[in-house]
């Protein structure tokens, strides 16, 4: 089956816009790009109408099952709701122009298989299954009441672990459950009570054990980390990425650049939460808001420093903590810290693809996977147009038009 997109302007980061082009897609790949293409008689034709064609975006930090991580809802809802939530969340993500996600905790192997089998419209997923957390750490959801609010079911291992032997076994359990990479909570966070973002979690021996085991299986390790000390521990241990990086300084940023440690700053999530707050029924809203007030003061300024030091920055949103479908608003925040429009787009396309090990994804190029979006106007002139989902006219995934 062939699909021909006619009369489009192709936007790839760091390249001149190719005007009035035709793109032929066959078997899920971009077969040919030219000003004129002779296709088969039964080709499906999409009139690009002189709009702009970009690679589909990759959100490097999402939680596709999550709807705010409210413990009260976990307690009240049947387990099935946890899975059904992924269906509308996936559609919202696709409609925002995101064709692939890197899920940093919540999605399971079942979601990945459902997407591959086209059971519903959904982004492709790079899985971490569940993060490793230390006792009393970020996302240890055993409350002072004694109730454990962590969602559990067969095939989805519990994340809590302590000491070298336990973190080794837990890394193996998460891999067995279908993880593509390992996620570790290496500092406190906003959403977990009795933890503070500025404090490191897990010790260096534990972190190194996790990295060694993951590396033996050719898996990268990612750190939720706001803490400066925590980031340096992760760099020493050999982590591949830092998520959030709130309190990063110039020296640590320089170390990250030297050691090829990427940064997924998730700038949108903190701004969104601080502006919109938490539900009135959230018993911990005041504590969370106080943590956010400290984070938003310094986050953008510190990420600007990381950018200046040459850290590889990738687009991620923490969607699931905030509502899904706002994904490409993150690009505005990335340009606010100094990135050019080309750099911001690359952070969510070709650079993100490279990071997750896909060397034929993230560009509108021949022999690349046909994950594409057609948009109203040129985002290199105004990146904010991508934040309005109405400007995302078509989304194509593996050559199939799904929006």
CA–CA gap between residue 368 and residue 385 (Å, rounded) = 25
pLDDT higher than 80, residue 292: no
In this structure, the strands spanning 392-397 and 372-375 are antiparallel
Residues 120 and 131 in one domain: yes
Q: What is the CATH number of the domain that holds 366?
A: 2.30.40.10
Residues 38 and 168 in one domain: no
* Angle between the N-to-C axes of helices 163-176 and 204-216, in degrees from 0 to 180, rounded to the nearest 10: 30
Q: What are the tens digits of pLDDT across the range 59-69? A: 999 999 999 88
Residues 38 and 137 in one domain: no
What's the structural domain count of the chain? 2
Look at residue 102 in the predicted model and tell me its pLDDT. Answer: 98
CA–CA gap between residue 261 and residue 242 (Å, rounded) = 7
CA–CA gap between residue 175 and residue 177 (Å, rounded) = 5
Q: Of all residues in the chain, what percent are helix, strand and coil, respectively (each to 5)?
A: 35, 25, 40
CA–CA gap between residue 383 and residue 335 (Å, rounded) = 8
Residues 261 and 209 in one domain: yes
H runs (alpha helix) in 191-284: 204-216, 228-237, 250-258, 267-276
**If you average pLDDT over residues 286-298, what whole number do you get?**
77
Q: What is the CATH number of the domain that holds 164?
A: 3.20.20.140
CA–CA gap between residue 389 and residue 93 (Å, rounded) = 10
Look at residue 184 in the predicted model and tell me its pLDDT. Answer: 98
Residues 48 and 83 in one domain: no
Residues 280 and 208 in one domain: yes
- Torsion sign across C-alpha atoms 327, 263, 85, 288: negative
**If you average pLDDT over residues 149-163, what whole number do you get?**
93
Closest by Cα among 323, 320, 325 to 66: 320
Residues 65 and 198 in one domain: yes
**If you average pLDDT over residues 346-361, what whole number do you get?**
98
> What six digits make up the tokens of 36?
């004129």
Q: What are the tens digits of pLDDT across the range 18-70? A: 999 999 999 999 999 999 988 778 899 999 999 999 999 999 999 999 998 87
pLDDT higher than 80, residue 76: yes
Residues 281 and 178 in one domain: yes
Last residue of a domain, one of 355, 374, 389: 355
| Under 8 Å between Cβ of 306 and 313 | yes
Residues 263 and 392 in one domain: no
**If you average pLDDT over residues 178-185, what whole number do you get?**
98
Q: What are the tens digits of pLDDT across the range 310-339? A: 999 999 999 999 999 999 999 999 999 999
The Cα diameter of the chain in Å comes to 69
What is the span of the domain harbouring residue 83?
57-355
Residues 23 and 94 in one domain: no
Look at residue 282 in the predicted model and tell me its pLDDT. Answer: 67
Residues 231 and 278 in one domain: yes
**Residue 273: pLDDT band with limits 50, 70, 90:** confident
Angle at alpha carbon of residue 159, lines to 153 and 163, rounded to 5°: 140
Distance from the first to the final alpha carbon of the chain: 18
Q: What are the tens digits of pLDDT across the range 6-20? A: 999 999 999 999 999
Residues 175 and 198 in one domain: yes
Angle at alpha carbon of residue 219, lines to 27 and 161, rounded to 5°: 130
Q: Is the pTM of this model over 0.85?
A: yes
**Residue 89: pLDDT band with limits 50, 70, 90:** very high
Q: What is the DSSP letter of 56?
A: P
**If you average pLDDT over residues 265-272, what whole number do you get?**
92
pLDDT higher than 90, residue 270: no
Does 283 or 213 have the greater pLDDT score? 213
């Amino acid at each position: 089956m062939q699909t021909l997109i006619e009369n489009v302007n192709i936007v790839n980061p760091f390249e001149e816009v190719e005007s009035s082009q035709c793109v032929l897609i066959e078997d899920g790949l971009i077969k040919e790009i030219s000003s004129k293409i002779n296709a088969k008689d039964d080709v499906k034709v999409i009139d690009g109408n002189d709009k702009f064609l970009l690679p589909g975006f990759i959100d490097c930090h999402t939680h596709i099952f999550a709807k705010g991580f409210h413990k009260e809802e976990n307690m009240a809802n049947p387990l099935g709701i946890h899975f059904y939530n992924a269906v509308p969340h996936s559609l919202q993500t696709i409609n925002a122009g995101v064709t692939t996600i890197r899920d940093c905790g919540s999605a399971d192997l079942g979601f990945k298989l459902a997407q591959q089998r086209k059971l519903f419209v959904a982004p492709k997923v790079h899985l971490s299954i569940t993060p490793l957390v230390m006792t009393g750490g970020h996302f240890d959801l055993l409350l002072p009441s004694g109730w454990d609010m962590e969602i559990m079911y067969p095939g989805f291992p519990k994340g809590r672990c302590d000491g070298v032997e336990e973190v080794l076994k837990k890394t193996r359990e998460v891999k067995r459950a279908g993880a593509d990479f390992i996620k570790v909570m290496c500092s406190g966070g906003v959403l977990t009570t009795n933890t503070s973002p500025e404090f490191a979690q897990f010790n260096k021996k534990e972190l190194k054990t996790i990295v060694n085991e993951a590396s033996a299986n050719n898996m990268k390790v990612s750190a939720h980390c706001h803490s400066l000390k925590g980031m340096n521990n992760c760099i020493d241990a050999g982590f591949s990425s830092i998520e959030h990086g709130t309190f990063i300084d110039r020296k640590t940023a320089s170390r990250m650049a030297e050691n090829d440690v990427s940064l997924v700053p998730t700038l949108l999530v903190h701004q969104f939460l601080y502006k919109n707050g938490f539900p009135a029924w959230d018993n911990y809203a005041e504590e969370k808001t106080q943590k956010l007030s400290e984070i938003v003061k310094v986050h953008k300024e510190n990420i600007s420093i990381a950018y200046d030091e040459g850290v590889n920055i990738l687009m991620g949103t923490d969607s699931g903590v905030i509502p899904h479908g706002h994904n490409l608003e993150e690009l505005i925040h990335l340009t606010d810290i100094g990135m050019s429009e080309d750099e911001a787009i690359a952070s969510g396309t070709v650079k993100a693809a490279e990071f997750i090990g896909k060397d034929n994804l993230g560009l509108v190029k021949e022999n690349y996977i046909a994950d594409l979006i057609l948009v109203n106007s040129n985002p290199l002139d105004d990146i904010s147009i991508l934040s309005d989902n109405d400007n995302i006219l078509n989304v194509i995934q593996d050559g199939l038009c799904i929006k």
